[in-house]
Amino acid sequence: MKSIHRSFIAKCFFVTTAFFSSCSYNDFPVPIDCDTSDLTIKIDSKKDVTGCNSIDGSISVSAIGGQGPYDFSLNTGVYQTSGVFPNLGPGSYTMTAKDVYGCTSIKQVDIVSTSSNLNAVATTIPGTDCFSDNGSITVTASQGKPPYKFQFGSGSFGDISTFNNLKSGNYTVTIKDAENCPLLLNINVAQGSTSISYTNDIKTILDTSCNTSGCHNGSLGASRDWRTYATSKANAGIIKSRTVNKTMPPGTPLTQKQIDEISCWVDDGAPNN
């Protein structure tokens, strides 16, 4: 039944994107506001590891609310239908549940070792520049047996515990103490508010490339009149997705800088600034 349901969703998506190939469509798909979703991920069980180098820990999760069927991911990895994740070592894990609409719910779960008290915390600075990566992570280790070594992602272990020039997203840092006990942190660098302005940047792009005859100048109805802030904000997610995948505008394509500006403005919450 699940495969039939997903096949139907995929076919609907194909039909929807076909409508989006020009300005001749009559209706937008009804958007799903994931901010109002009641999707919740539940931690059903957790097993800590027996040693600091053991991988016999496990996490089991499920989901309620939203709209099933659900998929589950560990540390932003590939989604799977099962909520059981075995063979885990000590560390901090990000568990994500996703429903059929793509809405997500996230929880952090710590797997610890009974043979080590190594601990670490991470502080982050969000990325606030639309065109460059200026986020950062600083990791502070404690307890265990110093000195500590730090590994960013799949890189080499070293003494550096601050990592700069990061874009928003998820990262892993592994800490080891002098007894070679590891601790994995899964860290999110948030996207901070950028300086992209609706009045000075976004409206100019829309008026020049989108709000033209037969498209979004009001000739297709008030709900598709993007000359006003209210309707632009209401359709911000659609505007972003269509400019990123380059199905809009149908005429002269936007520059990458313009596409990035639209994405940053939408990610900022589509403010009226």
Any domain includes 20? no
103, 127: one domain? no
Q: What is the CATH number of the domain that holds 177?
A: 2.60.40.1080
Q: Among the three residues 87, 111, 135, which one is the final residue of a domain in this structure?
A: 111
197, 269: one domain? yes
Question: Model pTM?
Answer: 0.60
Q: Among the three residues 189, 212, 238, which one is the final residue of a domain in this structure?
A: 189
14-54 pLDDT tens trace: 344 433 444 544 444 455 778 788 999 999 999 999 888 88
Domain that holds residue 153: 119-189
Beta bridge partners of residue 43, listed in sequence order: 61
- Domain count within the chain: 3
127, 182: one domain? yes
Are 89 and 111 spatial neighbours (Cβ–Cβ below 8 Å)? yes
206-254 pLDDT tens trace: 999 888 888 888 777 787 888 889 989 988 988 999 899 888 887 789 9
Any domain includes 180? yes
Any domain includes 137? yes
